[in-house]
Amino acid sequence: MRSPDGLEAILLVGGQGTRLRPLTLSTPKPLLPTAGVPFLAHQLAKARAYGVRRVVFATSYRASMFGEAFGDGSGFGLEIVYMTEDTPLGTGGAIRNAARALTCPPEAPVLVLNGDILSGHDIAAQVDLHVSRGAAVTLHLTEVDDPSRFGCVPTDDDGRVSAFLEKTPNPVTNRINAGCYVFQRSVIDTIPEGQVVSVERETFPGLIAAGELVLGYADTSYWLDVGTPAAFVQGSADLVLGKLDSPALPGPVGESLLLHGAVVSPEAKVTGGTVVGARATVEAGANVRGSVLSEGCHVASGATVVDSVVGIGARVASGAVLREVVVGDGALIGPGNELTSGMRVWPGVNLPECAVRFSSDV
């Protein structure tokens, strides 16, 4: 089903992405290369496929980079406009600020997307539910193993949200706020302008307390918050492997995705949804699995890189082992280093031979 004519979307992309440092020191999280393209390209392609034609970016951190990346949106078949917060306003404040650029009438639905979520859910079904029930807001809900890390959202048998319990230690349900909302435009206009507001802690609970109809659209499709390095790597690999469809994927699904100018030796093993960036090199005998190799990086013969990110122009020497590691741009991992368990190497750092080991054998 196509969206109603004129449906507009707000895309929340103002966060600093601190959990992803050092990847986000110079690049906003939503612009990090993910399965070969900026992360937001996947969200924009999905919205465009559904029928969204106009998107308002709610920007703050390194705001100018979004315009440089996406321009007016014509390359995506969209109209993109940008609204920037001089100081961060929280999720609600950002939505309210971005709404100044909307053109739809008060009774129209507005799609709100978070710039760090990969989701396979049916946007059309969520919007249809919202419109058919005349809801104030309809939240996408998904099920997770550990709901205490997210906003817990119980609903009644009719789908009405009965509470919004943000990151409670004793969740009453494993259904959580999945970060995609359909707002009635008039409801957005009730959010205080120019103030720091959290939709999770203020707007949604306030609407529920006031008796407004807040619905949950629950499903069990693919969903991932890519806010941590491990999740970011997983999301990129899942897209390359085809576990989540994306019209923005710049190549066929498979064990690896090689971008323009990438050189991979026939004697190298590159699997698990690995992306080999433009002009990156993987030498014979290297083993790379489920990783993101950034533009111009180099993985030498005999190196092992698993579930990791290797930054732009970084070098991994022969015999080095990386497991669940982030290597910043321009860093050098010397021979015999063994890095694991979420370690992060900052840009430009030079680790000499055998500087870090997790085991005694060399």
Query: Is 362 exposed, middle or buried, given 0-12, 13-18 or 19+ CB atoms closer than 10 A?
Result: exposed
Q: Are 47 and 113 in contact (CB under 8 A)?
A: yes
Active site residues: 167
In 3D space, the residue among 16, 29, 38, 25 whose CA is nearest the CA of residue 346 turns out to be: 25
Query: Is 150 exposed, middle or buried, given 0-12, 13-18 or 19+ CB atoms closer than 10 A?
Result: buried
In 3D space, the residue among 353, 358, 312 whose CA is nearest the CA of residue 27 turns out to be: 312
d(CA 272, CA 290): 4
d(CA 314, CA 293): 9
Neighbours of 56 (CB within 10 A): 25
- Between 123-133 and 39-50, two packed helices, what is the crossing angle to 10 degrees? 50
Tokens for 227?
């806010």
